[in-house]
Chains A and B, each alone.
Chain A
Amino acid sequence: DADVTQTPRNRITKTGKRIMLECSQTKGHDRMYWYRQDPGLGLRLIYYSFDVKDINKGEISDGYSVSRQAQAKFSLSLESAIPNQTALYFCATSDSTGTEAFFGQGTRLTVV
């Protein structure tokens, strides 16, 4: 089993719909992250969390929200999806040293 699991792996949704991407980890890490990847732009940080009570905005948080339900679970929501949110989304975890990030397999989201 993967250490960092994302669901769904692929999703097509319509403009204006609410959608949630889920991430769970078995590494016991406190830190969790959501990144988005677009061609030619690399990975950009959306939100990150250091523990259940700590949520921080990344560089591109507009249009997104997150929930840290437990140490092992960190979900990303798009309240009203728009086409330019079509991208590959990655969840990642790291321990308190932050010296290595472990990534989930990604969720390919298409907003039509």
Chain B
Amino acid sequence: GQNIDQPTEMTATEGAIVQINCTYQTSGFNGLFWYQQHAGEAPTFLSYNVLDGLEEKGRFSSFLSRSKGYSYLLLKELQMKDSASYLCAFPSGGYNKLIFGAGTRLAVHP
């Protein structure tokens, strides 16, 4: 079957680093996405990993281990505006559609 697990909620302090984990199960792996979603707004694309390893993009980095079915999103130098939900997703059925996890709600406090 297909499944994605993420922690429901996390809290962190402004200026700190936080790691949001995602474990998944799928047949025919075609990459893993991370999206950011502020409350009541549309999800916006953050990253897409196909190969193992860490990809860095500014304050955000995403890591993938295909053998372990594991990914994480690393957010550095946290800002208050990073308070949002972070959604892990993968394409299913040969890129037919994106399957989303329930998301991790991150609260950044001063």
Which B residues from 44 to 89 make CB contacts under 8 A with A?
44-45, 48, 87, 89
Q: Which of B41, B98, B100, B102 has the most CB of A within 10 A?
A: B98
**CB nearest neighbor in B for A59:** B99
**Residues A43 and B96 in contact in the complex (CB < 8 Å), given A98-B91, A99-B48, A100-B48:** no
**CB nearest neighbor in B for A104:** B42
Q: How far is the CA of A59 from the CA of B47 in the complex (A)?
A: 25
Smallest CB–CB gap between A99 and chain B, Å? 6
Smallest CB–CB gap between B8 and chain A, Å? 7
In the complex, the answer to whether B97 meets A45 with C-beta atoms within 8 Å is yes
The size class of the interface chain B forms with chain A is 20 to 34
Smallest CB–CB gap between A103 and chain B, Å? 4
Q: How far is the CA of A26 from the CA of B10 in the complex (A)?
A: 36
The size class of the interface chain A forms with chain B is 20 to 34
Smallest CB–CB gap between B45 and chain A, Å? 5
**CB nearest neighbor in B for A45:** B97
In the complex, the answer to whether A101 meets B102 with C-beta atoms within 8 Å is no
- Asked whether any CB of chain A lies closer than 8 Å to the CB of B1, the reply is no
**CB nearest neighbor in B for A48:** B97
In the complex, the answer to whether B91 meets A103 with C-beta atoms within 8 Å is no
Smallest CB–CB gap between B25 and chain A, Å? 16
B residues near A92, Cβ cutoff 8 Å: 98
B contact residues vs A (CB 8 Å cutoff): 8, 31, 33, 40-45, 48, 87, 89, 91, 95-103
